[in-house]
Amino acid sequence: MINLLPLEEKKKVRGEYIARLAITTLHFLFATLLIIIVFIISFYISLTAAQQANRDRLNMLASGVSPSVEGFDQIIEGTNKKLHILQGDNKDQHIYDRVFGTIISHKGDIRITGLVYEKGKDGSATVRLTGISPDRESLLAFTKVLEQESPFTSVEVPVSNFVKERNIEFSMEIALEV
């Protein structure tokens, strides 16, 4: 193809091309710098916040007070109270041993899932027992054995426990002599 543009026009077009290229390059450079500045500012803000948190933590450690120590003290006190309740009076310890020992020794194939000992204000005591029995006969035999044992005055088993033939989830309430 024949080049019909005079030399001056060619220089002018070439100059416009270079100017447009420079302007486009400067626009991309400006946009890139703007994005970098935004990231640097956000990084600076997060860094100063972390630095302030570390200063606060250092000041707290220097003063000798730890916020978690107070929480541990409360947990330890609560645990000690629960242990004291579980230990009960030493005179009642033999009752716990007899009751739970009797139940565990006669359970056979029955799995015990829950055992709650309650002592009433009037001096009465009851044990609520929950578990899973493989069949009706095992549950009935376990109930009869518990009725014959000495610390138990009565064993109450709801009739609804005997509805299923296998894998019976049962509950019973056992009254104790105190």
SS3 16: helix
Compute the mean pLDDT over every residue in the chain, rounded to the nearest whole number.
Answer: 85
DSSP secondary structure string for all residues of 92-111: GHHHHHHHHHHHHHT-TTPE
Top-ranked range on mean pLDDT: pick from 61-65, 72-76, 142-146: 142-146
- Check pLDDT > 70 for residue 93: no
* Average pLDDT value for residue range 18-38: 97
Q: What is the CATH number of domain 89-176?
A: 3.30.1360.100
pTM to 2 decimals? 0.47
Question: Average pLDDT in the 20-39 region?
Answer: 97
- The pLDDT, as a whole number, for residue 63 is 80
The count of other CB atoms within 10 Å of the CB of residue 85 is 8
Q: Is the pLDDT of residue 44 over 90?
A: yes
Q: What is the pLDDT of residues 128-169, one digit of tens each?
A: 999 999 999 998 988 998 888 877 888 899 888 888 888 999
Count of beta carbons in the 10 Å neighbourhood of residue 168:
19
For the chain, the domains span 7-60, 89-176
